[in-house]
Amino acid sequence: MEKKYYYEIDLVRTIVMFFVLSVHTLTIFNHELVADSSSYLTVAAIHSLFHGSRMAFMFITGFVLFIVYQKKDIHLGSFWKKRFSLMLVPYFFWNFIYMFGENYEQFKGQGIIAFGKIYFTALLQGNLGYIYYMIIVFQFYLVFPFLHWFLKKTKNYHVPILVISILIQLFQTLFIKFWLPSMDRTNWPYFFNHYGLFILTYQSYFISGGIIAAHYDKIRVWLLKNGQKIKWAFLVSLPIMVGNYFFNRFVLDESNKKAQIIHQPMYVLYSFLIIALLFYLGLKWDQLKKIQPDLKINKWVSLAAKLSFGMYLIQPIPLAILNYYILPHFTITSSTVFLYMPVGVLFVYLGSFGIAYLFYVSPYLSYCIGRGIKTWRKY
């Protein structure tokens, strides 16, 4: 039987990656402005609208894996061997690259032992570049076979499981936002103290990915039927999320960083709305693709989806070039920031895309972005 391919996922991955890279690019521009000036607050408010991208990234990771194994039996050894072998090469490679770039001064002249200690610490902590995502994925791969089994055994109870999972997520974000900062975490386990690296911090996005995958045929029909409502709900949510940022800043008197923390209740609801909108757009694009299969954008979206993981791993390179070698030659002010910002986002996106493509078509280097080949790939 021919394997079914869900083309809408390609567009979802492409847009999510654009949002992820935009978040990190806007952070750079925000730092160039005078703190709490009108332009600073405007950029920060816009920046806050892109933060649902991380949750969408987690959801699509879970959703795709559940779709792939939806009708398969999982054998632990072969599953873990396959999945970890795809991820370990990129993990070791990019940790090495970013450790060397970020910590060179620490081990310069100290020899291989100092180098090894820093590298080993980086591997354990996943704190270089944006490698933290891979730490979360490793945890997800470990628990996936058991979560897959659980959702298969409870297929008649998916609605209450989903509701409970989202309620737990809301409580988690309330706890992280309002109670956790005042607690003494000195002796806490590493993943409890660094909750952004812990899979349970994102549990509802992985669980919902599995449940949506299990009922995807019905969900697709519902999304297409209610697409206009989803679009209107998203448009209404934008001023609400901007208001949430200013409420955090000037009513709760939070710092800019804390006001935009993604672990807060508003982002749970906002992220699921973004996910619904992206899948609706993906389904509409899939319909267009079937009507006009020769559109050039179809080939580009397909390629961008294949490169998305590589672009994520590579993004610190164009971000660093933008931050340290390009922006110092420009004066970023309230009157120029909104002109330069889109150009900066485009530079980071196309730079990540271009470097990822070179890795993708290159033998052996392609393993470093999870797309292994041993001969030159033609696209």
pLDDT band (50, 70, 90) for residue 38: very high
pLDDT at 371 > cutoff 70: yes
pLDDT digits (tens, 9 = 90+) for 88-123: 999 999 998 888 776 666 666 666 777 788 888 888
pLDDT at 206: 97
pLDDT digits (tens, 9 = 90+) for 50-91: 988 899 999 999 999 999 998 888 999 999 999 998 899 999
The angle, 0 to 180 degrees and rounded to 10, between the axes of the packed helices 296-314 and 76-107 is: 60
Q: Which stretch, 43-52, 72-81, 184-193, 227-236, has highest mean pLDDT? A: 227-236
DSSP string for 184-212: --TTS-HHHHTGGG-GGGGHHHHHHHHHH
pLDDT at 3 > cutoff 70: no
pLDDT at 300: 92
Q: What is the mean pLDDT of residues 227-254?
A: 96
- The answer to whether residue 376 is domain-embedded is no
Using alpha carbons, select from 28, 32, 41, 24 the residue that is nearest to residue 259: 41
The token pair at 124 is 């354990």
pLDDT at 1: 47
Count up the domains in the chain and report the number. 1
Question: How high is the mean pLDDT of the chain?
Answer: 91
- The answer to whether residue 19 is domain-embedded is yes
Question: Which single residue is written with the structure tokens 């996943």?
Answer: 126
Q: What is the mean pLDDT of residues 223-236?
A: 96
- 106-120, 166-180, 190-204, 232-246, range with the lowest pLDDT: 106-120
pLDDT at 117: 81
165: left (phi over 0), alpha (psi -120 to 50) or beta: alpha
- The answer to whether residue 203 is domain-embedded is yes
HSE value, Cβ hemisphere, 13 Å, CA-based, for 373 = 12
Task: Supply the range of the domain harboring residue 149.
Answer: 8-369
pLDDT at 200 > cutoff 90: yes
DSSP string for 242-280: HHHHHHHHHTS---HHHHT-S-SHHHHHHHHHHHHHHHH
pLDDT at 16: 95
Q: What is the mean pLDDT of residues 151-170?
A: 96
pLDDT at 142 > cutoff 80: yes
The token pair at 306 is 């294949």
